[in-house]
């Protein structure tokens, strides 16, 4: 069996002594992401090149050590938490924007580049990168690829899957390959598409070719205030039913509004039961007409006020509140647990009623902020982890909400991934044959069980079942998982 000394020496040979961490005080920041999962790795290696990534992977494989890829650590499903300890391979040093091509409208970047930095680099050419997670100032492109990240402006334009043309990857076997290229269409099996959203179980992306889009000629942002979440939810379907597909359509309930307004003074109506933030973009003539129709739909469904942002500054302030609504909830509780589920738009009202019922039944406050246009819900369960037994109660409540999403014809994740936290729920959606085929796909990329283990799929040798997962499954009902 290899010793710790053997492991550290092998990693230093791959990336250099300076970029291998093994002291407990250095490892502590790599034991968690944006969830409540925690597990400290034995070592962390921070390669700077594709060759160094491949060398680190091969070294770990040779020693039989589990590998966990990690981007910026902003994930919300435990995907970058080293469940079986081992080695974390972080891409934080790979931060170069290698190319901005305004003719082909592509960017070539390394995985550690922050999402927002791509649009900043493309702005002088009148271009931008569409997927915009709320954490876009911090989250990395590599992590976005792993989770198939979305964002508020993905309603009309699509998520990461729709904007990655190709990528260089180091497979779980340590081989360097290209999937896709610089054009949207390619023949044969879509291995690029298979890799996107695989949550670090197939390999590590080391270069990404991104599709860039022209900056819209005109943008209009509307804020509609409602007395109830139900009215706002009904309006979402009403707007899209009228043939209008906004660039973004976001909803926040009273708890989120109060927290965001207290933190950022965005001009939100704090007494509203809910607001819709609707953004339209395109040619000025078309946008004016669509804005009038959206306003009419909102008023018809009970909006007490609808206003248009009068300047770029006001528009930016409205979006600042939305982008920071989740961290602003720290004003209301020491901790929050974010749920990520998707339901058909026609079921928004029903599922939001379930969320309210769960909150009332458990006595736990639940705030709501979500991508309403595509039915991607983000209920935030507010709690204090210092209260004995509270974490388990919170996870029970979250499991009930997830089950309601699935029962309504939805799915387990819209953008945060399955990771470690929801893998035991996968049988709600997939049969044994489906799950077996997903498992077999990992083998095609060289993953024999040690590459980001205990993620995405239920079970797994040596993974066990964390106590909170078992409790959450029980809370969702006797048919939750067998």
Measured between alpha carbons, how far apart are the two ends of the chain, in Å?
Answer: 35
Nearest CA to 379 out of 428, 418, 426, 414 is that of 414
pLDDT at 376 over 90: yes
CA–CA separation, 27 and 79 (whole Å): 17
pTM: 0.92
Where are the domain boundaries for CATH 3.30.70.2740 in the chain?
Answer: 333-475
- CA dist list (Å): 220 to 126, 141, 327, 361: 18, 28, 26, 40
- CA dist list (Å): 148 to 115, 200, 275: 13, 11, 27
Place of tokens 């906004």: 246
State the average pLDDT over residues 40-61: 98
Q: In this predicted model, what pLDDT tens digit does every residue of 407-453 receive, in sequence order?
A: 999 999 999 999 999 999 999 999 999 999 999 999 999 999 999 99
Contacts of 443 (CB under 8 A, 6+ apart): none
Confidence (pLDDT) at 331: 92
> Please, which pLDDT band fits residue 481 given cuts at 50, 70 and 90?
very low
> Please, which pLDDT band fits residue 39 given cuts at 50, 70 and 90?
very high
**Residue 416 near residue 76 (C-beta atoms within 8 A):** yes
State the average pLDDT over residues 287-303: 96
State the average pLDDT over residues 26-45: 95
Average model confidence (pLDDT) for the chain? 93
Where are the domain boundaries for CATH 3.30.465.10 in the chain?
Answer: 97-214
**Residue 203 near residue 171 (C-beta atoms within 8 A):** yes
Residue 428 DSSP code: G
Q: In this predicted model, what pLDDT tens digit does every residue of 71-108 receive, in sequence order?
A: 999 999 999 999 999 999 999 999 999 999 999 999 99
Q: What is the CATH number of domain 4-90?
A: 3.30.43.10
Confidence (pLDDT) at 479: 43
Side-chain-side CA neighbours of 130 within 13 Å: the count stands at: 25
Q: Which two tokens stand for residue 108?
A: 């070539």
- Fold of the CATH domain 333-475: Alpha-Beta Plaits (3.30.70)
> Please, which pLDDT band fits residue 472 given cuts at 50, 70 and 90?
very low
Output the furthest CA–CA distance in the chain (Å, rounded): 70
pLDDT at 466 over 70: no
Confidence (pLDDT) at 480: 38
Nearest CA to 319 out of 416, 250, 368, 253 is that of 250
Percentage of residues in the chain having pLDDT higher than 70: 95
> Please, which pLDDT band fits residue 170 given cuts at 50, 70 and 90?
very high
Nearest CA to 147 out of 474, 453, 415, 459 is that of 415
Percentage of residues in the chain having pLDDT higher than 90: 90
> Please, which pLDDT band fits residue 399 given cuts at 50, 70 and 90?
very high
CB atoms within 10 A of CB 49: 13
Where are the domain boundaries for CATH 3.30.43.10 in the chain?
Answer: 4-90
pLDDT at 385 over 70: yes
**Residue 7 near residue 25 (C-beta atoms within 8 A):** no
DSSP H or E run through 250: strand 248-253
Q: Backbone phi, then psi, for 287, in 5-degree steps?
A: -65, -40
Confidence (pLDDT) at 185: 77
Q: Which two tokens stand for residue 145?
A: 């690829």
In sequence order, the β-bridge partners of residue 90 are 70
**Angle made by CA atoms 121, 282, 141, in degrees to the nearest 5:** 30
Place of tokens 């930016």: 316
- Quick one: how far is CA 141 from the chain centroid? 11
pLDDT at 151 over 60: yes
> Please, which pLDDT band fits residue 144 given cuts at 50, 70 and 90?
very high
CA–CA separation, 474 and 480 (whole Å): 7
CA–CA separation, 48 and 54 (whole Å): 11
Say which CATH architecture domain 97-214 belongs to: 2-Layer Sandwich (3.30)
- Fold of the CATH domain 218-329: Alpha-Beta Plaits (3.30.70)
Q: Which two tokens stand for residue 124?
A: 């002088």
Confidence (pLDDT) at 187: 81
Confidence (pLDDT) at 160: 97
State the average pLDDT over residues 372-381: 95
Confidence (pLDDT) at 68: 98
CA–CA separation, 294 and 236 (whole Å): 10
Where are the domain boundaries for CATH 3.30.70.2190 in the chain?
Answer: 218-329
- CA dist list (Å): 196 to 77, 154, 179, 203: 16, 16, 10, 10
**Residue 87 near residue 19 (C-beta atoms within 8 A):** no
pLDDT at 269 over 80: yes
């Amino acid at each position: 069996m290899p010793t710790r000394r053997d492991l550290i020496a092998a990693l230093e040979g791959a990336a250099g002594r300076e970029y291998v961490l093994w002291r407990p005080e250095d490892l502590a920041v790599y034991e968690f992401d944006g969830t409540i999962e925690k597990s400290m790795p034995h070592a962390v290696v921070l390669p700077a090149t594709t060759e160094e990534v491949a060398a680190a992977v091969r070294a770990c494989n040779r020693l039989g050590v589990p590998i966990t890829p990690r981007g910026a650590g902003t994930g919300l499903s435990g995907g970058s938490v080293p469940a079986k300890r081992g080695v974390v391979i972080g891409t934080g040093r790979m931060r170069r924007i290698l190319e901005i091509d305004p003719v082909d409208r592509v960017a070539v970047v390394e995985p550690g580049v922050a999402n927002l930095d791509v649009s900043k680099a493309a702005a002088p050419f009148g271009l931008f990168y569409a997927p915009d997670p709320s954490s876009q100032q911090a989250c990395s492109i590599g992590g976005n690829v792993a989770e198939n990240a979305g964002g508020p402006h993905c309603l009309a334009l699509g998520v990461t899957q729709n904007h990655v043309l190709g990528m260089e990857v180091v497979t779980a076997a340590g081989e360097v390959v290209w999937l896709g290229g610089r054009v949207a269409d390619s023949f044969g099996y879509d291995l690029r598409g298979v890799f996107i959203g695989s949550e670090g179980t197939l390999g590590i992306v080391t270069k990404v070719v991104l599709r860039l889009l022209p900056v819209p000629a005109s943008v209009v942002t509307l804020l509609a205030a409602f007395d109830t979440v139900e009215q706002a939810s009904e309006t979402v379907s009403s707007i899209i039913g009228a043939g209008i597909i906004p660039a973004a359509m976001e909803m926040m309930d009273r708890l989120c509004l109060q927290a965001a307004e207290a933190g950022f003074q965005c001009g939100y109506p704090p007494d509203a039961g809910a607001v819709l933030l609707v953004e339209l973009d395109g040619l000025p003539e078309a946008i004016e007409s669509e804005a009038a129709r959206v306003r009419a739909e909102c008023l018809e469904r009970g909006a007490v006020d609808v206003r248009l942002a009068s300047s770029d500054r006001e528009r930016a302030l409205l979006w600042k509140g939305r982008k920071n609504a989740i961290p602003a909830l720290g004003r209301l509780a020491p901790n929050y647990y974010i749920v990520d589920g998707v339901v058909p738009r026609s079921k928004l009202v029903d599922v939001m009623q379930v969320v309210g019922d769960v909150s009332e039944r458990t006595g736990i406050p639940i705030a709501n902020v979500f991508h309403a246009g595509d039915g991607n819900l983000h209920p935030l369960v507010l709690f204090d982890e210092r209260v004995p037994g509270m974490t388990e109660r919170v996870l029970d409540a979250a499991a009930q909400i997830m089950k309601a999403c699935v029962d309504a014809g939805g799915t387990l994740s819209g953008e945060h991934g399955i990771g470690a936290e929801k893998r035991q729920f996968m049988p709600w959606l997939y049969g044994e044959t489906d799950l077996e085929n997903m498992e077999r796909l990992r083998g095609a990329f060289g993953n024999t069980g040690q590459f980001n283990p205990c993620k995405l799929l239920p079970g797994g040798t040596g993974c066990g079942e964390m106590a909170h997962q078992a409790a959450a499954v029980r809370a969702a009902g006797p048919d939750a998982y067998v």
